[in-house]
Amino acid sequence: MSAWRSAALLCVPLFSTLGTAHAQSDALGWLRKIQDATRNLSYSGTFVYQHGGRSETSRITRLAAADTERLEVLDGMPRELVRTRDTVRCYLPESKVVKVERRTPDRSFPALLPERLNALAQHYDISLGETRRVGGFECQAVVLTPKDNLRYGYRLYADTASGMLVRAVTVDAAGNQIEQFMFTQLSIGRVTPEIPASTRWWSSRAAWANRSRSGRWCTPTASPRSRCSSSRCRRAASRRAPGSRASAPSISILARSPITW
């Protein structure tokens, strides 16, 4: 009897390890589902970005077949961004200026996940959380808990039917919310293309003629005060990746907290 008991006790750690690996595999499967949805689905909706006592509301429309995205900020100074396969155009209605950049592989909500999902497991414990309704969608939570103190944690809420990311929360080591993105209205599937208002008499500034040492594209005739101003279409102020903790996030037209490894 004691031999059987000893053998059973030896199997407990093995079963525990297998169970943990299976759970992480399921969670990674959900991350792949989220990644596929944000890449391959067309959608339109309104989302809110919150950090501390500040918030910003934006409207987004994505046509997956054309790999085209339109983002319009609904608060504060009017500004609109249109991304195609090759270019990014930032429309500033008040100054009647269109700023043009080459498209880079920057990640923004809801497409926050990196290309190499398996690499996340090196730095995060990935698990499935609760199932709850968010913005009218039944969602599955995926929890990313950092294995060190160099990164923030995340709670991602994905529509169980489509895999679309509906809510993303960044948390500190104590589990306190730092920032959040959440769709307040979202339509998945049929999307009607929306064309920006006529810009016939607007000034167009190509932002790829020169490149600064910081890596931002600058207009060749920009004054020192307005230098690299096209980058402000992407961010209101420079900000480090979530793992650095050195600076607080800033609200921008592409307010984002891409998940890093």
Share of the chain above pLDDT 70, in %: 64
Domain boundaries, the chain: 25-261
Confidence of residue 131 (pLDDT cuts 50, 70, 90): very high
Please check whether residue 165 is in contact with residue 141, taking contact to mean a CB–CB distance below 8 angstroms.
no
Q: Give me 198's structure tokens.
A: 């006529």
The predicted-structure confidence for 175-185, as pLDDT tens digits, reads as follows 999 999 999 99
Where is average pLDDT lowest: 29-38, 104-113, 196-205?
Answer: 196-205
Using omega within 30 degrees of 0 as the cis cutoff, is the peptide bond preceding 110 cis? Answer: yes
Q: Give the highest mean pLDDT range of 91-105, 122-136, 242-256.
A: 122-136
Confidence of residue 93 (pLDDT cuts 50, 70, 90): confident
Check residues 74 and 239 and name the one with the higher pLDDT: 74
Confidence of residue 29 (pLDDT cuts 50, 70, 90): very high
Q: What would the DSSP string read from start to end of 59-119?
A: EEEEETTTTEEEEEE-SSS-EEEEE-SSEEEEEETTTTEEEEEE-----BTTB-S-S-GGG
In sequence order, the 6+-apart residues with CB closer than 8 A to the CB of 113 are: 31, 34, 35, 38, 107, 259
Place of tokens 């297998």: 18
> CA–CA separation, 59 vs 197, rounded Å?
15
> CA–CA separation, 119 vs 115, rounded Å?
9
The number of helix segments (H) and strand segments (E) in the chain equals: 1, 14
The whole-number pLDDT of residue 139 equals 98
C-alpha Rg value of the chain to the nearest Å? 21
Mean pLDDT of 236-248: 34
pLDDT above 60: residue 231: no
Confidence of residue 205 (pLDDT cuts 50, 70, 90): low
pLDDT above 70: residue 19: no
Confidence of residue 40 (pLDDT cuts 50, 70, 90): very high
pLDDT above 70: residue 92: yes
Q: Is 147 helix (H, G, I), strand (E, B) or coil?
A: coil
CATH for 25-261?
2.50.20.10
Q: Is 28 helix (H, G, I), strand (E, B) or coil?
A: helix
The whole-number pLDDT of residue 190 equals 78
Confidence of residue 8 (pLDDT cuts 50, 70, 90): low
Write down the mean pLDDT value for the chain: 76
Where is average pLDDT lowest: 17-26, 43-52, 160-169?
Answer: 17-26
The whole-number pLDDT of residue 97 equals 85
Please check whether residue 41 is in contact with residue 170, taking contact to mean a CB–CB distance below 8 angstroms.
no
Check residues 245 and 120 and name the one with the higher pLDDT: 120
pLDDT above 80: residue 132: yes
pLDDT above 60: residue 64: yes
